[in-house]
Each structure stands twice: as structure tokens, then as C-alpha cells.
Amino acid sequence: MGRPLTEAELVERAKRGDQDAYGDLVHAYQGIAFRTAYLLTGNAADAEEAAQSAFVKAFYALGRFRPGAELRPWLLRIVANEARNRRRSAGRRANLALRAAAAVTSGGAAPSPESSLLDAERQSDLLAAVNGLREEERDVVACRYFLELSEAETAEALGLRKGTVKSRLSRALEHLRERMEVADV
Amino acid sequence: MSELELALTQIARELDYPETPDLTGAVRRRLAEGRRPRSWRRPLVLLLAALAVAVGAVLAVPQARSAVLDWLGIGAVTIRQVEGLPEVELATGDLGVGERVSLAEARERVRFPVRVPTLPGYEDPNVYYAEPLPTGQVSFVYGSLDKPQLLITQVSALGALEKLVNTATRIERVSTDDASGVWIEGERHFLFYPGAEREEPFRLVGNTLVLERNDGVTVRIEADISKEQALRIAESMR
């Protein structure tokens, strides 16, 4: 039994039209692709369609993928583009929600180390503040903190310069601080 | 990382994501069905020949028509050849090129390389920046916005624009040293951004050269000029 193919080998095969190899790449990245699309559209059906279309477009665009480059941010850029186009088409904002279990956990139970920073109510307030940001700021916050992409990956995924990502993040954090202060009043 | 940033990463673990669907199977099926517009690299003459047969066969079935004719993709532009163009209100006096910026600012705002013609008379365009697409669009306008003599647009996005052309419009495959695409001439044709945030008016355009460069940038040159002149301008872009 041979060794599993590396990502670079799968890409090379896919470039030659090997759809099985491309299927392996889709499988590897479908989770992050769907989450990216969901964060940008806020709608499961739109996210699924955007991610699907992005993977199909990416297959045909593989000829332009530079050997040695990182595949994940390249794919996420196509996914993000599809997702934002669908968001625009639908004409609605992407409002995110917390899991039900997280939203109700508060009160008497001792907080776990992971939840010690914010209680459930403050989490809901902060997410509401994120939902209220301008889309361009909200998108960089979602990519940087919710998907935990690096600044470079965020820039690649959103088609921005790193400097633009930094400045938008800075503005977004400032706006979030202002809104959270207002929520405290 | 500040406390606020840590709190945001904490929220990431509590977000209510839907379960990831099986994209692998769906993508495999779509690839097998060949549902993407076919590559421009296929011989255009073959496509046009097929079109001539297909048009006669499917025009009676409106739903099938767009599917059959949705076949030509050149970088950012999908060209749909339709029998009749829509009756729409045309943009007047608005090229949709956005705000006037310097060349340096335009280059700063986008991540793709913005090239400028070096052909004498074309080296100093009026530069405009717009965001009809998330990745931005840089346009060069020669002449005034009211009466543009030539418009060059550069974008980097797959399948983001659509061009509707009449079946009587002549489409010819062309190439330069580092780009390939089509020359569109003759009957009127429309350009629009499907799914744009605001309703972009359909815009009636003149003869158009659409090229996809090797670096992934799609260049459109629109003017009442000859194919040869448009190609000279494109080839001079550095």
C-alpha cells in the first residue's frame, strides 16, 4: 500500500483533470470552506451553495494556482468571494448566533477557565456588537478571530492588503470597545 | 492579544455553526456534469458551430436556453449569448467606475497588479476605483465621464461580471503574449454585475476586448476602435 499523496501531489493531479484527487482536496477543506461561507452569509443554504460553487470554480482555476503557494488561503479567497456575492444578492446581513447551550450558561455554575473571560450575557452582547459592525469590519473580525486565520490569510481570503486588514481590525476593535462600554451603562 | 481579542476567539468556540454538508459529493457531481461555463481555451469556432445547432433546438424552451448558451468564461467575465437582449433602462452618464483616485492609490487599494498602457497617448489615464466586487476594480477613462473615448477596466475575480451579447454580435478569439480572450464587435451588448449590492444599471458598451492575463487579472478595453488597436493597447500595458 503506497503512502498517502501530499497536498502538492493532489494539486498537481487535479490540475491534470484528476477529479478524484480534487475530491480529496475538497474533503480536506470543506469544513473551513463551509464555515467561512457561513460566517459571511449567515445562512446555511447560501453557505452551502457558495462553498460548492467556489470549489467548482477553483477546480477550473487551478491552472493559475502557483506551485508552492498555500492552497488554503487561495481556496478561501474564492469561497469568500462567492459568499459575499451571494450575501449581496440576497440583500441581507449575516447575523451570527451562539449555540443554545452557550447562550443559557450563566448564573450559579462555577465558570470554566475557557469561559472565565466573559459570561454568557456578555458573550451575547459582544456577538451582537460584532453583528452590528459595518460589513467590511465584520468580515475581517470573522476571518481573524472566528476562523482564527492569520492576518496574512485574512488578507488573502478577503482580497485585501495586510495593511488594510490591520487598519480594519483596529477600527473594528475600537468600535466593539465603544459598543461594549455603551452596553455596560 | 488584548482581552477583547481573547473574548472574540472565545466566542468562536461557541458559535452556532450548522453541520457541514457533504460538499465533496456535490462538487464531484457538478464537475462530472460540467456545470461550469466551458473554458475559453476550447476552440471558439467549435463552440459557435455547436451554438448554431443548439440555438435552433432549444429556443422554444426558454428555461433551457440560458443553460445551453451560458458557456463562455474569461476570468471575471461570463459571456452569455442570447437571442434577444432585455428591454432595460440603460445607465446614462454613469460608467460605474467609482471615485477618481491617483494611480498610486488605486494600486494601494487592490491586491492585483494594475498595469498602464505605454502606447503614446494612453500613458496618462484618468484613474477611478470602485468596489462592485470585493476585490475592487480599477478603471482608466480617456476623455470625459460623459463622453468617454476609451475605457479600460482591470479586475481580479472569477465569474463576477456578465456580458449579454446578441447572437448577431461577432465574437472572435484573440491572444497576446501573456493573455487570451475574445474580441466582441458589432451588435450592441450589455455589461452588468450579477448579484451586486446595489442594482447596477445595465450598461450599453461599444466594441470590447476581454482578456484574461496569466496573472489572473481580467482586462476589458471598451471603445469604438478596431480590434488591432485594442490589442496594441493591451499589449503595451506594463
**pLDDT of B65 above 80:** no
Q: What is the pLDDT of residue A16?
A: 80
B 78-107 → A contacts, CB under 8 A: none
Q: Per the domain annotation, does B230 fall within a domain?
A: yes
**Do B10 and A22 count as a contact with CB atoms less than 8 A apart?**
no
Pair (A113, A183) in one structural domain: yes
Contacting residues of A for B8, CB less than 8 Å apart:
126, 130, 141, 145-146, 176
Contacting residues of A for B197, CB less than 8 Å apart:
88, 91
Boundary of a domain, candidates A93, A124, A153: A93
Which residues form the domain of B190? 99-158+168-235
Contact B202, B192 (CB under 8 A): yes
**pLDDT of B139 above 90:** yes
Pair (A12, A77) in one structural domain: yes
Pair (A169, A125) in one structural domain: yes
**Do A126 and B7 count as a contact with CB atoms less than 8 A apart?**
yes
Pair (A146, A167) in one structural domain: yes
Q: Per the domain annotation, does B87 fall within a domain?
A: no
- B77 compared with A151, residue with greater pLDDT: A151
Boundary of a domain, candidates A73, A93, A113: A93
Who among A35, A51, A85 is closest to B160 (CB)?
A85
What's the rounded mean pLDDT across residues B80-105?
67
Pair (A71, A25) in one structural domain: yes
**Do B16 and A99 count as a contact with CB atoms less than 8 A apart?**
yes
Complex ipTM > 0.90: no
Residues in chain B: 238
Pair (A101, A70) in one structural domain: no
B 25-54 → A contacts, CB under 8 A: 26-28, 30-32, 35-36, 39
Contacting residues of A for B217, CB less than 8 Å apart:
none
Pair (A177, A157) in one structural domain: yes
Boundary of a domain, candidates A93, A114, A145: A93
Q: Per the domain annotation, does B27 fall within a domain?
A: no
- A159 compared with B201, residue with greater pLDDT: A159
Q: What is the pLDDT of residue B161?
A: 60
Instruction: Say how many domains are in chain A.
Output: 2
Cβ of residue B126 closer than 8 Å to a chain A Cβ: no
Pair (A87, A108) in one structural domain: no
Contact B219, B211 (CB under 8 A): yes
**pLDDT of B180 above 90:** no
Pair (A169, A119) in one structural domain: yes
Q: Per the domain annotation, does B14 fall within a domain?
A: no
CA distance B34 to chain A (A): 9
Q: What is the pLDDT of residue B228?
A: 92
Does the model's pTM come out above 0.80?
no
**Do B18 and A118 count as a contact with CB atoms less than 8 A apart?**
no
B 174-203 → A contacts, CB under 8 A: 194-197
At residue B110, the 3 state secondary structure works out as: coil
pLDDT category at B109 given cuts 50, 70, 90 is confident
pLDDT category at B216 given cuts 50, 70, 90 is confident
**pLDDT of B189 above 90:** no
Q: CATH number, domain at A174?
A: 1.10.10.10
**pLDDT of B91 above 50:** no
Instruction: Say how many domains are in chain B.
Output: 1
Could you tell me the maximum CA-CA distance found in chain B, to the nearest angstrom?
66
Which residues form the domain of A179? 95-185
Pair (A82, A16) in one structural domain: yes
The Cα–Cα gap between B63 and B118 comes to: 46
For residue B29 the three cell numbers come to: 457531481
Q: What is the pLDDT of residue A139?
A: 92
Q: What is the pLDDT of residue B224?
A: 80
**Do A145 and B5 count as a contact with CB atoms less than 8 A apart?**
yes
Pair (A23, A63) in one structural domain: yes
Using 50 as the pLDDT threshold, list the residues of chain A that sit under it.
104-115, 185
**pLDDT of B89 above 90:** no
Q: What is the pLDDT of residues A111-142, one digit of tens each?
A: 444 445 567 778 888 999 999 999 889 999 99
Q: Per the domain annotation, does B70 fall within a domain?
A: no
Q: What is the pLDDT of residue B168?
A: 67
**Do A146 and B15 count as a contact with CB atoms less than 8 A apart?**
yes
Pair (A149, A106) in one structural domain: yes
Q: What is the pLDDT of residue B52?
A: 31
What's the rounded mean pLDDT across residues B134-149?
83
